[in-house]
């Protein structure tokens, strides 16, 4: 990967040569790693939640640290600061409430790393965007960071050698550029990778990044599709399976810019109608916003030309999204599965078939069929297995547009697809409803689907859920291939 510069984008990444899909482009060690902001008390070594009263505390500074992390290199830098400054950690009785005192940890680690590696700071971090003026517009958040981080570090922590301006700049660099990741145990963290962070955003990315906990959280960037030399490299800063309004809101609030990619500027989202509604007047047209970059824009049918104000669209969508959010907050159970089915049926006459709400409901259903108690894959009737196949194919249809190539989302959708394909083929063959030739063909399709999923998932860290799924997928591939050999022998 090479870097380039433009007044509009600042620094950005371009391909150093021609790359085929799935090729690794670059890799990088983190500049700093630590807990997310606005979280409850966590261990500053492994980031697992800790309880009150606190027995899990550092023997030196008395800040949160579990017994397994006594020698954690992640905690060591700030430990000396707290000991020297005699900074007391205030116990939080409610383990679910946000611990404001921990908000300073990640900025502090960046500042201490700046002193330890000034060359890397000057070369990689100093040029990073931090949107100072835009952040000041969110006055409540700015003031909270000023008091809880900048003035806390300069005051109680006795770090007056760092200016208030520098600390707030670091806070901004983290807010705009830090990547979220998870530990092998699933605990959320933040990582700063200055070189990888120069990649520009696009709602249809051509690269994907993976953070490897097994390699001390090293990040690696690979292509999703074929990329030509000097072609600009893009990642997605937001969830690709959100609608345009949701993506824009996320980018404005967290990254302080408006995305003007081809997808965002197209009312139909590249012909997918991903945010569109079914027209009530003609029942054959789809209503889409006239101007996707203006939340107050009217919406218009592509067939009968009827126009609807955005306020009416919001009055339709807001209650639906609230209802979906309630169901998605439920634990995995037969109740959640049934409620998800209900919502998927309830709104099919209002939302375009590929609408992002319907797509996300389908993703949830494909994951729950086969995992929820009472809905194990081998117990599902053929009609539900066929339904799961249809759901997977519809999700893949969307991913082909927004995450083309070898994405994690595609791999998991393919993994969910192979199971019912193989199971239905096997059941039909045992019941003598298909002959060996058809069985072999159907089994071949399941093998092909699973092989593609495994090929993608093999690029993931071995400690991640996706990496574990790759191992499981390989074993399933062996079983399917043995079944194929058994057909040939017979």
What's the N-to-C CA distance of the chain in angstroms?
52
Q: Which one of 170, 192, 214 terminates a domain?
A: 192
Domain count, the chain: 3
Beta-carbon-side half-sphere exposure of residue 334 (alpha carbons within 13 Å): 4
Q: Note whether residue 296 is domain-resident.
A: no
Residue 341 CA to residue 466 CA, distance in Å, equals 26
Q: Same domain for 441 and 467?
A: yes
Same domain? For 58 and 6 the reply is: no
pLDDT the model gives residue 282: 87
Kind and range of the H or E run holding 455: helix 436-457
The answer to whether residues 172 and 201 belong to one domain is no
Instruction: Please tell me the predicted confidence (pLDDT) of residue 347.
Output: 96
3-state secondary structure of 104: helix
Cα torsion 173, 175, 179, 182: sign:
positive
Whether residues 186 and 211 share a domain: the answer is no
What is the full DSSP assignment across 394-432? Answer: HHHHHHHHHS-SS-HHHHHHHHHHHHHHHHHHHHHHHTT
Asked if the structure places residue 263 within a domain, the reply is: no
Q: Quick one: 111 and 203 in the same domain?
A: no
Q: Report the alpha-carbon distance of residue 79 to residue 62 in Å, rounded.
A: 9
47/111 same-domain check: yes
Would you give the distance in Å from CA 371 to the centre of its chain? 22
Residue that terminates a domain, selected from 184, 207, 235: 235
Query: Given this model, what pLDDT does residue 222 score?
Result: 97
Distance CA 46, CA 292 (A): 42
Examine residue 53 and say whether the peptide bond preceding it is cis (omega within 30 degrees of 0): yes
Residue pLDDT, tens place only, 210-268: 999 999 999 999 999 999 999 999 999 999 999 999 999 999 998 999 999 999 999 99
Under-70 pLDDT residues of the chain: 52-54, 94-95
Express each pLDDT in 422-461 by its tens digit. 999 999 999 999 999 999 999 999 999 999 999 999 999 9
Answer yes or no: do 171 and 209 share one domain. no
Q: Is residue 246 part of a domain?
A: no
User: Both 219 and 160 in a single domain?
Assistant: no
Angle at 412 between CA 407 and CA 417, to 5 degrees: 125
Asked which of 235, 263, 290 is the last residue of a domain, the reply is 235
Three-state SS at 6: strand
Whichever domain contains 12, its CATH number is: 2.170.270.10
Residues present in the chain in total: 490
Q: What pLDDT score was predicted for residue 42?
A: 94
For residue 403, the domain's CATH number is 1.25.40
| DSSP string across 244-256 | HHHHHHHHHHHT-
Q: What global pTM score does this model have?
A: 0.91
Q: Are residues 168 and 215 in the same domain?
A: no
Q: Which domain holds residue 197?
A: 2-29+193-235
Asked whether residue 188 falls in the same domain as residue 205, the answer is no
DSSP 49: B
């Amino acid at each position: 990967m090479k870097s380039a510069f433009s007044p509009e984008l600042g620094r950005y990444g371009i391909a150093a040569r021609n790359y085929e899909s799935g090729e690794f482009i670059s890799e990088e060690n983190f500049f700093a790693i630590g807990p997310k902001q606005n979280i409850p008390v966590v261990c500053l070594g492994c980031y697992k939640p800790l309880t009150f009263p606190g027995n899990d505390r550092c023997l030196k500074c008395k800040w949160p640290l579990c017994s397994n992390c006594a020698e954690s290199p992640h905690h060591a830098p700030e430990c000396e600061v707290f000991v020297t400054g005699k900074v007391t950690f205030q116990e939080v009785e409610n383990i679910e409430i946000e611990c404001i005192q921990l908000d300073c940890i990640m900025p502090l680690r960046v500042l201490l790393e700046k002193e330890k590696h000034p060359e890397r700071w000057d070369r990689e971090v100093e040029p990073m965007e931090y949107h100072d003026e835009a952040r000041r517009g969110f006055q409540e958040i700015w003031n909270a960071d000023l008091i809880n981080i900048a003035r806390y570090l300069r005051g109680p922590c006795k770090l007056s050698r760092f200016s208030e301006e520098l600390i707030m700049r670091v806070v901004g660099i983290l807010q705009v550029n830090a990547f979220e990741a998870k530990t092998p145990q699933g605990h959320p963290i933040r990582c700063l990778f200055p070189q990888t962070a120069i990649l520009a955003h696009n709602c249809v990315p051509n690269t994907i990044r993976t953070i490897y906990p097994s390699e001390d959280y090293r990040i690696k960037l690979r292509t999703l599709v074929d990329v030509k030399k000097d072609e600009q490299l893009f990642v997605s800063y937001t969830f690709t399976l959100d609608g345009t309004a949701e993506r824009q809101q996320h980018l404005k609030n967290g990254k302080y810019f408006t995305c003007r990619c081809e997808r965002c500027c197209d009312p139909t989202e590249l012909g997918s109608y991903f945010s569109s509604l079914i027209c009530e007047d003609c029942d054959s047209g789809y209503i889409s916003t006239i101007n996707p970059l203006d939340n107050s824009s009217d919406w218009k049918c592509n067939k009968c030309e009827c126009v609807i104000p955005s306020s009416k669209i919001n009055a339709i969508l807001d209650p639906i999204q609230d209802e979906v959010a309630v169901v998605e907050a439920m634990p995995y159970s037969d109740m959640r599965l049934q409620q998800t089915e209900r919502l998927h049926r309830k709104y099919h006459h209002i939302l375009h078939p590929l609408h992002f709400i319907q797509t996300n409901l389908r993703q949830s259903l494909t994951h729950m069929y086969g995992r929820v108690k009472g809905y194990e894959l081998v117990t599902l009737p053929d009609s539900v297995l066929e339904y799961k196949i249809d759901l997977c194919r519809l999700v893949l249809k969307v991913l082909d547009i927004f995450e083309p190539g070898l994405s994690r989302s595609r791999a998991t959708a393919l993994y969910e697809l192979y199971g019912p394909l193989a199971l239905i083929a096997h059941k039909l063959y045992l019941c003598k409803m298909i002959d060996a030739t058809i069985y072999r063909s159907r089994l071949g399709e399941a093998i092909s689907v699973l092989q593609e999923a495994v090929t993608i998932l093999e690029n993931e860290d071995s400690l991640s859920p996706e990496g574990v799924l790759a191992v499981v997928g390989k074993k399933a591939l062996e079983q399917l291939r043995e079944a194929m050999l058994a057909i040939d022998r017979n």
